[in-house]
Amino acid sequence: MGRYLTNPIPDDPDLPEKTIQPGELQTIASNGLRCFPIYQTFGRDASGFHYAAGRAAGQAAVNAALDHGFKSGTRIFFAVDFDALDYQVTDNVVPHFKGIQDALSDDGGRFEIGVYGPRNVCTRVSEAGHATASFVSDMSSGFSGNFGYALPDNWAYDQIVTRTVGSGSGAINIDIDVASGRDKGQASFDAPRAALPDVRYDGGFLNALHDDLSKYMRSIGFADDGGTGADARLFTHTECFETIMSFDQQTTDLSNKYDMRKALIQTSAYWEMRHYDLIDQGVDHAVALYHLEGIGTIKDSSTGIGQISGEVGIRAWNHCINKGFVTGTTTDPTKDADIWEMWQKVNKDNGFTMRTVPLIHLWGADGKPGGKNPPSGETTLRSMRLDYTEREVFQILRRYQGWGDQAEADATKRMAIYQIFEKYNAIMRQLAG
């Protein structure tokens, strides 16, 4: 039977029934059954499929598979659950699966890749060398990708009909599949990984984390040395990595205090520091001129390694002071003197910035009350916790940057960074546990 590694209805955490439940895999094994894992993102159209999203999906699936107890050698079927036209397969789906393949390769090749989708999607992805078996959604008879296309040569499962099993309140819908025997699923499983709190990073894994982050950032256009020309950044990959990791004890303590995954803090700080460029530096100079010399009109900017403005820093600290997360005196986010005081801290004090990043996340989870955008305000998420869904993680990362299409696009790219940090943080938790 096929079961989902994560909740494929991420906007409705009250409906987790498609996700593998605690103890379920052991029940399957004890009753002589087998299970193959499916990973589905929250992208339900072509825009959700591209290389960066594939990198994030690949590592997320690995992390989830290990959490549930799937053993090395398991094939994970990655879903394309929309009617992808042939040009969308070329432009979106195939690059997405290249990202998945690169992520699983960088992970050490512990898991194999399968593709779930219409016949044309399965055939195209497999012929590109990005999947070794197909799970065909033939039940989606209205999909153009099934019309006139042969069953893929590497088909493992063919989804043909949905049936209702049971009756009354116990009735459930199940998909009936035909199996070729190419993939038989798994009959035994490791113990699931517990949702442990994060711990200090083991220095023996620093080079591996450094290199994995470098590979990903280079794959989306960020040179290790910061680059040249119009897209040049002021900090190298190594400088950003070493700065973030130098605060590992503090980050660990804060993650435990706020019930927040370390990867959320590390991802936001690393991403923002990697983006600091000459334009940012020039705007920062203009802010200093305004407050020190009375020159110009620019009184605030996103600054420092966390790219935090004085106003945002004040609002996040005020919110967390009022909620009891931190102690201190609230200040006025509209007052020049208070903005300047906060701005100098997040501009010059990296330790203060690394303490402020998780406060912005806590503020974001509560809907950023008092913030300036979006006009209608942000929705309130579940309170911070270690078992946040991927959609909740995405929202936290997106809200750190702001609102709009660019923030959405960048949050998708940051998801892969989050999954890389989480890959190694999970190893640290297991070693300590």
Task: Locate the domains of the chain by residue range.
Answer: 2-179, 203-432
Give the pLDDT of residue 325: 97
Tokens at 122, concatenated: 């399965």
More confident residue, 6 or 296: 296
Amino acid at 237: H
CA 175 to mean position of chain CA atoms: 29
Q: Please measure the distance between the N-terminal and C-terminal CA atoms of the chain and give it in whole angstroms.
A: 31
pLDDT (tens digit per residue) in 152-169: 999 999 977 666 666 666
Give the pLDDT of residue 195: 85
Across 5-32, average pLDDT: 76
Q: Is a pLDDT exceeding 70 seen at residue 8?
A: no
Asked if 306 and 354 touch (Cβ cutoff 8 Å), the reply is yes
Domain 2-179 has CATH 3.20.20.80: yes
- Average pLDDT score over the chain: 91
Give the pLDDT of residue 167: 67
Give the pLDDT of residue 6: 87
Residues of the chain with pLDDT > 90, as a percent, come to 75
Give the pLDDT of residue 286: 97
Global pTM reads 0.88
More confident residue, 433 or 315: 315
Give the pLDDT of residue 69: 94
Q: Is a pLDDT exceeding 60 seen at residue 14?
A: no
Please return the burial class of 36, using the count of CB atoms within 10 Å of its CB with bins 0-12, 13-18 and 19+: buried
Question: Distance between CA atoms of 331 and 339, rounded to whole angstroms?
Answer: 9
pLDDT (tens digit per residue) in 374-428: 877 899 999 999 989 888 999 999 999 999 999 999 999 999 999 999 999 999 9
CA dihedral 57, 62, 63, 65 (to 10 degrees): 120
Angular region, 142: left φ>0, alpha ψ -120 to 50, beta rest: alpha
